[in-house]
């Protein structure tokens, strides 16, 4: 049906049935994004529920809106029977547990194939299924993969970003991998690890080392190749400036009253001089003042804002789900308006303990 009387579009993943077995962040974030796009996601929770329920209601809601919940003790024969019934009706299973638990609870494609040959099984671990059960929380993986060593001031200690970048990135990768296998039309096993995802995201740093022997340096948040591309103090507040190519530099330099350094190669070779010149020039105005001036010239720049300030500036990114205000998913599909249902109560859609 088309035309002015047509109803709202169904989500692009409407009809896709996904089971989730996991805790806290990476796995639940992956399946929440899929639920936002219309998939039916059922959390298969242990007797005590997803551990994130113990953090806070808001925390749990931020990762589990729009899902169903069944409570199943997978360690029991009755729980395994219920799992097999659920698997027989599902298109995909995403598991976010340590490898030994994945095998012990029969959550692999090999174990579940008798109940659904077309099932897509995605396992999300810290280090990979063959690497054992060493703890692999977000910050641990950031430290182990070189992220922390790259973050912070050159003369200071390594630092971690203020949010769970490894978990969130791994969740996105797991959701993509799950959809890729579904699109193939074949059931099967897919692995995603936090370690592999974060190493993959160090792409150009890793390539410089592997091919040219150039080890990455801690530059206080500055970009390794582009200059100037970092945070700068201003008369009030800090400004993120990201000058990549020469056209941006010419526009910025004219506005800031800086002469010289016309090419990307020269700016990179004379990094300290350029940074000093830019720092001096930016002291003449506030961060928001520079943002306004530079954006009118289409030069990439933004004043550093707090999260409350950023949310206030982007009201369309805030949605309501079950009486709670949450950040919307990152996908915008013309004609489709996600419903953002509430997070489920434990066992709300079936209690088999």
**Catalytic annotation, residues:** 167
The two three-digit tokens of residue 123, written as one number: 């396992």
**3-state SS, residue 76:** coil
- Whether omega before 228 lies within 30 degrees of 0, making that bond cis, reads yes
Distance CA(274)–CA(281), nearest Å, equals: 11
Q: Which helix (H) or strand (E) holds 44?
A: strand 40-45
Q: What angle do CA 303, 329, 317 make, to 5 degrees?
A: 45
N-term to C-term CA, the chain: 44
CB 213, CB 220: distance < 8 Å: no
Q: How far, in whole angstroms, is CA 63 from its chain's centroid?
A: 12
What SS3 state is found at 318?
strand
């Amino acid at each position: 049906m088309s035309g002015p009387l047509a109803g709202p579009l169904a989500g692009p993943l409407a009809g896709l049935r996904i089971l989730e077995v996991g805790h806290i962040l990476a796995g639940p974030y992956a399946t929440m994004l899929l639920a936002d796009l219309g998939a039916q996601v059922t959390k298969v929770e242990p007797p005590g529920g997803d551990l994130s329920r113990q953090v806070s209601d808001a925390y749990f809601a931020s990762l589990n809106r729009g899902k169903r919940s069944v409570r199943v003790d997978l360690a029991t024969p009755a729980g395994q029977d219920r799992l097999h019934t659920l698997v027989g009706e599902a298109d995909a299973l995403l598991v976010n547990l340590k490898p030994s638990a994945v095998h012990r609870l029969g959550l692999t494609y090999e174990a579940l194939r008798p109940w659904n040959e077309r099932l897509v099984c995605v396992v999300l671990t810290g280090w990979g299924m063959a690497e054992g059960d060493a703890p692999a929380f977000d910050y641990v993986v950031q430290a182990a993969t070189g992220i922390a060593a790259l973050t912070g001031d050159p003369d200071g200690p390594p630092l971690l970003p203020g949010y769970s970048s490894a978990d969130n990135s791994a969740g996105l990768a797991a959701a993509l991998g799950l959809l890729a296998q579904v699109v193939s039309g074949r059931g099967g096993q897919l692995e995603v690890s936090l370690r592999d995802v974060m190493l993959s995201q160090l792409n150009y740093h890793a390539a410089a080392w592997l091919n040219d022997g150039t080890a990455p340096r801690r530059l206080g948040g500055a970009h390794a190749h582009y200059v100037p591309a970092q945070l700068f103090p201003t008369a009030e507040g800090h400004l993120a400036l990201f000058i990549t190519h020469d056209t941006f530099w010419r526009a910025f330099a004219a506005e800031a009253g800086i002469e010289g350094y016309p090419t990307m190669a020269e700016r990179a070779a004379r990094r300290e001089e350029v940074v000093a010149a830019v720092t001096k020039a930016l002291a003449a105005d506030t961060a928001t003042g520079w943002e306004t001036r530079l954006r009118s010239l289409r030069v990439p720049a933004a004043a550093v804002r707090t999260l409350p300030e950023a949310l206030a500036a982007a009201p369309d990114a805030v949605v309501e789900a079950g009486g709670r205000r949450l950040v919307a998913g990152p996908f915008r599909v013309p004609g489709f308006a996600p419903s953002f249902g509430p997070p489920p109560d434990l066992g709300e859609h079936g209690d088999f303990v």
